[in-house]
Structure 1
């Protein structure tokens, strides 16, 4: 019965992660949701963190408990469970940090912050970003084989969801660059200015209106812009 409950808890965690991370606006928000959902959903874990590297260099740290974020931050030194997991490409477990000699300085900081056990698991996001998800327990020997299985499944699932978040972020950046280029072009920029004046809305919203009109009329965006500019610039009969 206890094992069945563990399976159900893990399945519920993965479902919640999927729902939460799919709706994230970007990679940073996805990481925030990942650590918060994991902390709240995994029994025996009172803090969760994520250490991220891009092209081999530290690029970010996210923690469900900001007061313990330094435990995931490689700027405090590379000798950490997270970095060991990333280097070895394997799960790293320390059920009790008293007498732990693999990361003496890190372990001392962890104990001072009330952390007495850790599981760090490598997460592959894409060809540029890798990281480790870190599960922390506030009591010694609280981490069990069930936590290890959960960490393994969590890392696999989170890697896929974070990769999707990175793709969405890149696509949004690309779309933003395209929008900037369009707004800089004469007739489209003029049409956007017309809509902004008529509706009292910002440029992105005005461009979205123009795009919607082009889609509805099934004609190119530039042609819609030209028609709009021509319409408003045409002299009116008295």
Structure 2
């Protein structure tokens, strides 16, 4: 099953592919995401774009790295005549135009959208429009992926809570039968013993069930609801 980040990066690839259709043949796009200690290319329209991202990291200089440092967009219209990144420029003599657009989400820098072009005439107007639309769409994709991850985390916590509750209920039934007491009194007994032994209530409950039944308590299965398939008669 793909992870949320894999689904996010797959969506980024689709995004770059669509934006690349508005670019001239000599233009290449990449989306690089910030990690804890580095930045990695998550999607690109050409393999060369990923190599150019890597070249900047290898040389320690380049417009993408400067844009990441400042958090502001950066446009280079004549790279060979620009003296700011000599090592990067020497490794990419064919490049003429580089534009870096920061990708932000709620004030946090996610990464960088970069377009590389070998055409000295730069990019046409529709290419710039495609870049702006793509840069605005990436945070939307991230918000969707983040929301899905949070929902899955909440669902996992809920399932664990229900499982824990089910095991405690099994132990309560045992204590009620042994002590001939109410459910509330049985729970007070479990809570007091858990405090005395410094163990969690659900762990104590599991040990009680295992001691009486001779096997670990059965964890209930919580299945995902089946997807409803609707059919239409023609």
TM class by shorter-chain length?
0.5 to 0.7
State the alpha-carbon separation in 2 of the partners of residues 167 and 105 from structure 1: 41
Flag structure 1 segments of 5+ consecutive residues without an equivalent. Answer: 1-23, 193-206, 214-238
- How has the CA–CA distance of structure 1 residues 63 and 110 changed in structure 2, closer, same or farther, with 3 Å as cutoff? farther
State the alpha-carbon separation in 1 of the partners of residues 74 and 109 from structure 2: 19
Any idea what SS the aligned residue of 1:142 has?
coil
List per-residue Cα deviations over 1:106-135 (Å, max 9, x = no partner).
Answer: 222233xx4332111111035655211011
Match of 1:20 in 2: none
State the alpha-carbon separation in 2 of the partners of residues 41 and 102 from structure 1: 29
List per-residue Cα deviations over 1:117-167 (Å, max 9, x = no partner).
Answer: 211111103565521101121222222565445433432232223332333
Asked if the contact 2:76–2:99 (Cα under 8 Å) also holds between the matched residues in 1, the reply is yes
State the alpha-carbon separation in 2 of the partners of residues 212 and 92 from structure 1: 49
Match of 2:66 in 1: 84
The normalised TM-score by structure 1 is 0.56
- How has the CA–CA distance of structure 1 residues 147 and 41 changed in structure 2, closer, same or farther, with 3 Å as cutoff? closer
Asked if the contact 1:96–1:141 (Cα under 8 Å) also holds between the matched residues in 2, the reply is no
Asked if the contact 2:103–2:110 (Cα under 8 Å) also holds between the matched residues in 1, the reply is yes
In the alignment, is residue 53 of structure 1 matched against residue 34 of structure 2?
yes
Match of 2:115 in 1: 135
State the alpha-carbon separation in 1 of the partners of residues 57 and 17 from structure 2: 22
In the alignment, is residue 31 of structure 1 matched against residue 12 of structure 2?
yes
Asked if the contact 1:96–1:140 (Cα under 8 Å) also holds between the matched residues in 2, the reply is yes
In the alignment, is residue 188 of structure 1 matched against residue 170 of structure 2?
no
- How has the CA–CA distance of structure 1 residues 50 and 188 changed in structure 2, closer, same or farther, with 3 Å as cutoff? same
Asked if the contact 1:122–1:133 (Cα under 8 Å) also holds between the matched residues in 2, the reply is yes
Aligned Cα root-mean-square deviation (Å) = 3.5
Asked if the contact 2:22–2:127 (Cα under 8 Å) also holds between the matched residues in 1, the reply is no
In the TM superposition, what is the alpha-carbon distance from 1:48 to its structure 2 partner? 0.6
Match of 1:123 in 2: 103
Greater gyration radius: 2
State the alpha-carbon separation in 1 of the partners of residues 51 and 162 from structure 2: 43
The normalised TM-score by structure 2 is 0.57
Match of 2:232 in 1: none
Asked if the contact 1:30–1:165 (Cα under 8 Å) also holds between the matched residues in 2, the reply is no
Match of 1:95 in 2: 77
More helix by share: 1
Flag structure 2 segments of 5+ consecutive residues without an equivalent. Answer: 168-217, 228-234
Match of 1:109 in 2: 91
In the alignment, is residue 155 of structure 1 matched against residue 187 of structure 2?
no
